[in-house]
Amino acid sequence: MSVKSIAKNVSISPRKVGEVASLVRGRTVADALVILEHTPRASAIPVRKAIESAKANADHNHNYKPDSLVITEISITPGMRLKRFRPQARGSAASYIKRSSHIRVIVDGEVRKPKSTKKTVDAKTSKPQKGKK
């Protein structure tokens, strides 16, 4: 079972984020975080946050070992586009588009063995002890 994380409406164009995402595609999470830490691009920060979120989801919600996680898929899709105008000469205006992107990270790894849930036994009554109120 794979675990995913999505960062929506990141205010960087999908083309710029896609270049950084291709650096870490198919790598282990630990390697990807080291690579992104040393990548001098602004889009490395939201990609790193999305990968860290997927790692935390896998560890906390699905009981995966954080050391064994591998990025199986990382996809960048275009998000909302905002049309803006910049003043030009002679009272005219030029339009430009502010692009955003969605970052979707899917990780997979090895599941931890569940901890055994032994009931505590009271020595006096040799019955399972209930929660104290």
Q: What percent of the chain has pLDDT over 90?
A: 81
Q: Are 9 and 80 in contact (CB under 8 A)?
A: yes
List phi, psi (to 5°) of 11: -85, 50
Residues 6+ apart with CB under 8 A from 50: 5, 6, 7, 103, 104, 105
What is the pLDDT at residue 121?
A: 59
Q: Could you give the CA distance from residue 124 to residue 68 in angstroms, rounded to a whole number?
A: 45
Average pLDDT over the chain, rounded to whole? 90
25-29, 62-66, 109-113, 123-127: which range is least confident on average? 123-127
Question: What is the number of other CB atoms lying within 10 angstroms of the CB of residue 72?
Answer: 15
Provide the CATH number for the domain formed by 3-108 in this structure.
3.90.470.10
3-state secondary structure of 86: strand
| Number of residues that make up the chain | 133
